Chain A
């Protein structure tokens, strides 16, 4: 496997007066990659440029070690994609549709049919696979989109807002499936979302894009490490006592609406906080280090970008 699955140099895409991508330089290693950004930041455009769904204005890109623009068919044999918008091939039932998608990627019919059923099992679709796609609910369509994206066993799969329109249970199920793709089966996942919680839950690498530029590209672990001086403590009682003890040590402390106590202790490890809890004889239910690291990094990155603009 290539050391980098995505490599771009000065990748730009211009729509009329607007620069959707502005000189994106990236080298992304395999893994579960979260592509974050506000609406209109350029996340979908970035994906589409890599998949050649949109022509690049300038710059170059390599996907899975192959030049995008020259080896489109070969690249797409090894890539899966679930678009954000509702799209399907009309007049087909679910299993026919997934079989057809596999055939379009070069799988022989028998293999395609078998894998279509396996993937529909994998995404949790039952007998509804024999119904026409046009009659599916949003949740079923999202599952079907995931099935068609992975039916040909890609090395990398691009998921554009895969939890859109789903209820919390459906979201959790889809995210669990997506998570398993990398952790259990070694398929690199690029998850584009504006929902930080989704990305925080399953991704190891984070790319934050805004105004067509990459603001942050780092592992989630590093991003959290940058904000080590914070923690949320969950206790069942004596909140006020904990708050005053923290303040005595000159740590900023607040009681959050959800009952957690947010403490800015400013230390590299949680040990001083644990010691304090020990002194108070206050057993915590949970201590969450750097609880909003991703959100805060995201907001900070956006603010810096806005200020620079």
Chain B
């Protein structure tokens, strides 16, 4: 016999708004993703990378000031290198906005694109949690009978991917920027490196939007968990390789790989070619060194295939959205 009242009780409180309901779906999705042990290990790896990046920024920051501890320390091993470093820092000190901006922009380009690979891998692990399982267990009917519509459901699932990418990618990158500049020898580093942060955020938004929609699309393709995960990895790895091979004949096929498109978007956002040119123009010692950069590399840095990548990404996102809209119908 129950010790408390087990009869039905009415409730007269105020309902929360639709945004809170969408966030409930996202929060529940992220929590489900984090139940996977391998996902937690992967996140730990990403945040360890962020720590290493912050240390690297600290070391680079020390190279960019006159009374640098690192330059003094280098003198203990190689006095000639110390002389070179002092000459370099003299130039760099004269152009802090260029030196800080360029070094951080280049570093964050590589860090963002590198960490993005982990994020893509992580998405493959969570793809079944997004829509696949709901299709398998008819959960779409339950969602549809609650005070949300199909758009809210899709938004909540998209926010799940975005939340995970925030934890595995944008969070570590932004944290590395903040901690790295906090450890810098001068507070002005925050200001001079703002361009790098903005590029990270811009590329981050593009990456989250593209990968988020594609992940939802792949997740909605089948109700079998292994199939959707496998499809994601095949598209990423095999698709990337095959599209490069086939692209020798039909160059536009390169855009079949979402990884290639993201690389082109990253190059367009970070504009590394502009940075190199700025350094060549303002810091003579670098100007001499960078003359050796091949024309092909400069061309690739200066003129990435942004339009093709953007059009292909939009097309794929549209297709993914159409699949999600079709498959997330309750009946």
- Contact indicator B142/A108 (Cβ below 8 Å): no
Binds A, one of B4-12, B93-101, B250-258: B4-12
* Contact residues of B between 136 and 162, Cβ < 8 Å to A: 136-139, 141-149, 152
In the complex, are the beta carbons of A111 and B11 less than 8 A apart? yes
Instruction: Kindly identify, within residues 30 to 70 of chain A, every residue whose CB is under 8 Å from any CB belonging to chain B.
Output: 48, 51-54
CB neighbours (8 Å) of A181 from chain B are: 8
**Cα of A77 to Cα of B138 in the assembled complex, Å:** 20
Is A227 part of the binding interface, using a Cβ–Cβ cutoff of 8 Å? no
* Residue B277, interface by CB 8 Å: no
Indicate whether A257 reaches chain B with its CB closer than 8 angstroms: no
- Residues A85 and B8 in contact, CB atoms below 8 Å apart: no
B122 within 8 A of A: no
Contact flags (1/0) for A75-117 with B, using CB distance below 8 Å? 0110111010111111100000000110111111001000100
Asked if residues A88 and B4 are in contact (CB atoms below 8 Å), the reply is: no
Given the known inter-chain contacts A77-B15, A152-B11, please indicate yes or no for A89 contacting B134, CB distance below 8 A: yes
B139 and A90 form a contact (CB under 8 A): yes
Query: Does B311 belong to the interface (CB within 8 Å)?
Result: no
Chain B, interface size category, equals: 35 or more
Chain B residue with minimal CB distance to A96?
B28
Give A149 to B146 CA distance when docked, in angstroms: 9
Pick the contact of A85 from B7, B10, B138 — CB < 8 Å? B138
Closest to A121 in B: B6
In the complex, what distance in Å separates the CA atom of A184 from the CA atom of B141?
A: 29
CB neighbours of A73 from chain B (8 A): 18, 147-149, 152
Quick check: B145 and A180 within 8 Å, CB to CB? no
Instruction: Tell me, yes or no, whether B24 is within 8 Å of chain A by CB.
Output: yes
**Docked complex: B12-27 residues within 8 A CB-CB of A:** 13, 15-18, 20-21, 24-25
Given contacts A76-B146, A83-B138, contact A122 B7 (CB under 8 A): yes
Distance in angstroms between the alpha carbons of A85 and B148 in the assembled complex: 20
List chain B residues, Cβ under 8 A from A111. Answer: 11, 13
Closest chain-B Cβ to A83's Cβ sits at a distance in Å of 5
Report the bound CA distance from A73 to B146 in whole Å.
8
Q: Does A150 contact B (CB under 8 A)?
A: yes
A122 near B15 (CB under 8 angstroms)?
no
A153 at the interface (CB under 8 A from B): yes
Instruction: Determine how close the nearest CB of chain A comes to the CB of B145; give it in whole angstroms.
Output: 4
Residues of A contacting B18 in the complex (Cβ-Cβ under 8 angstroms) = 73
* A134-B331 Cα distance, complex, nearest whole Å: 21
A9 CB-CB contact with B under 8 Å: no
Within 8 A of B (CB), among A175-207: 180-181, 184-185
CB-based contact A48/B21 at 8 Å: no
**When chains A and B are docked, how far (Å) is the Cα of A88 from the Cα of B148?**
16
A31 to chain B minimum Cβ distance, whole angstroms, is: 17
Pairwise interchain contact A89-B142, C-beta atoms closer than 8 A: yes
The digit string for B295-331, where 1 denotes a CB below 8 A from any CB of A, is: 0000000000000000000000000000000000011
Q: Is the interface of B mostly helix, strand, loop or mixed?
A: loop
What residues of chain A lie closer than 8 Å to B147, measured between beta carbons? 73-74, 76-77, 104-106, 152
B32 in contact (CB, < 8 A): yes
Q: Which residues of A contact B15 (CB under 8 A)?
A: 77, 105-107
Q: How far is the CB of A162 from the nearest CB of chain B, in Å?
A: 14
The distance in angstroms between the C-alpha atoms of A93 and B210, with both chains bound, is 33
| In contact, B144 and A88 (Cβ under 8 angstroms) | no
Nearest chain B residue, comparing its CB with the CB of A187: B8
B133 interface neighbour in A54, A86, A90, A153, Cβ under 8 Å: A90
Known: A103-B24, A106-B20, A184-B8. A53 touches B142 (CB 8 A): no
Out of B7, B139, B145, name the residue touching A88 (CB < 8 Å): B139
Is the C-beta of A72 less than 8 angstroms from some C-beta in chain B? Answer: yes
Instruction: Check B13–A88 contact: CB distance below 8 A.
Output: no
B35 within 8 A of A: yes
| Cα separation A119 to B6 with both chains bound (whole Å) | 8
Partner of B24, one of A48, A52, A104, A121: A104
Residues of A within 8 A of B17 (CB): 106
Alpha-carbon distance A3/B8, docked complex (angstroms): 24
Query: Which of chain A's residues have a CB closer than 8 A to the CB of B139?
Result: 87-90
Q: How far is the CA of A53 from the CA of B142 in the complex (A)?
A: 10
Mind listing 29 A-B residue pairs with CB under 8 Å?
A51-B144, A52-B144, A53-B331, A72-B149, A73-B148, A76-B147, A83-B141, A86-B138, A87-B139, A88-B139, A89-B139, A89-B142, A90-B136, A91-B32, A91-B35, A103-B16, A104-B21, A105-B146, A111-B11, A118-B8, A118-B9, A121-B2, A148-B142, A149-B145, A150-B8, A152-B11, A180-B8, A181-B8, A185-B10
Known: A91-B133, A107-B16, A118-B9. 13 other contacts (CB 8 A): A51-B145, A53-B145, A73-B149, A76-B147, A88-B137, A89-B139, A90-B136, A91-B35, A101-B146, A103-B21, A111-B13, A115-B9, A121-B4
What 10 A-B pairs come out closest when comparing CB atoms? A106-B15, A87-B138, A104-B146, A81-B145, A121-B6, A77-B147, A153-B11, A53-B330, A103-B24, A89-B139
